[in-house]
Structure 1
């Protein structure tokens, strides 16, 4: 007649939230790579049809995607390198990485300034979209992580 056994949901379980910083940084890098590739492909397709000489938009999107991946990925990698180390080491890595990125972007922009094989607007649009997506990925990953922010000593009572 009727079956009284409970049925289980066939839906897959949601992915577990990261519980360590290493897992968090790995998750952010994976999501950032997927988003960067997707945005670069969309930028290349849109740039192909919107730019005057067709392939200049594709080149703009590819350059923007490369710069975006390099810069946004370098931030996460520098944080991963500083994980578990002293605050001074983390500060040196993050600030040194930021300074190196600024030097690299200035050099790249100076090199690209007079070249005409790419569309500057497609490059800027692709890069801007990647930066916004990267920021959203980082914020959402950090908000959903289950990483304790307070270390409780062995006795269980907080220190003064």
Structure 2
């Protein structure tokens, strides 16, 4: 087996000459997912802060609890999907698909358990919970989509 220095044909040569070209940040196939997670997290934080101010001011502590639970469920649901794809980015397509679908099933069961556990409890404001959950879902999905479609990556190697 030869090392890269023994086999110069295996090295990436800079088109301008002068040896091996540095690998570009645009060659990282995980870059769109990283940006999607970054933008989604920023969107979730913004929604949470605005909702905390609005619902906390209007409903007090129950509004704050509703916002925190709604943001965690709504934003977490979407962010965990992107995170599971990122974690499996270097595996086979079948493994990625199995983990994403398995993760979706686990998330669905967890959301059902959370809804059942919250049924009848009065420590949180239900409208704050529902509105924040829906807004967080929409904002995080749109922010992740924006992060994905605006990322520059190399299409050929």
Q: CA deviation at 1:82?
A: 2.2
CA distance in 1, matches of 2:124, 2:153: 43
CA distance in 1, matches of 2:27, 2:76: 26
CA deviations over 1:21-44 (Å, ceiling 9, x no partner): 322222222222222122111111
CA distance in 1, matches of 2:51, 2:26: 31
Which residue pairs with 1:35 in the alignment? 43
**Is residue 38 of structure 2 the alignment partner of residue 46 of structure 1?**
no
CA distance in 2, matches of 1:74, 1:96: 12
Q: CA deviation at 1:125?
A: 0.9
TM-score calculated relative to the size of structure 1: 0.74
Q: CA deviation at 1:48?
A: 2.1
Q: CA deviation at 1:118?
A: 0.5
Q: CA deviation at 1:126?
A: 0.9
Q: CA deviation at 1:72?
A: 1.6
Q: State the structure with bigger RCO (CA 8 A, min sep 6), 1 or 2.
A: 2
CA deviations over 1:65-106 (Å, ceiling 9, x no partner): 111232122111111122132111111011001000001000
**Is residue 30 of structure 2 the alignment partner of residue 22 of structure 1?**
yes
Aligned length, in residue pairs: 133
**Is residue 55 of structure 2 the alignment partner of residue 77 of structure 1?**
no
Which consecutive aligned stretches of 4+ in structure 1 deviate over 6 angstroms post-superposition? none
CA distance in 1, matches of 2:68, 2:26: 31
Retained in 2: the 8 A contact 1:61–1:122? yes
Moved more, 18-27 or 75-84: 18-27
Structure 2: gaps of 5 or more residues: 1-24
Retained in 2: the 8 A contact 1:41–1:61? no
1:139-150 matched pairs, under 5 angstroms:
139-148=145-154
Structure 1: gaps of 5 or more residues: 1-16, 153-160
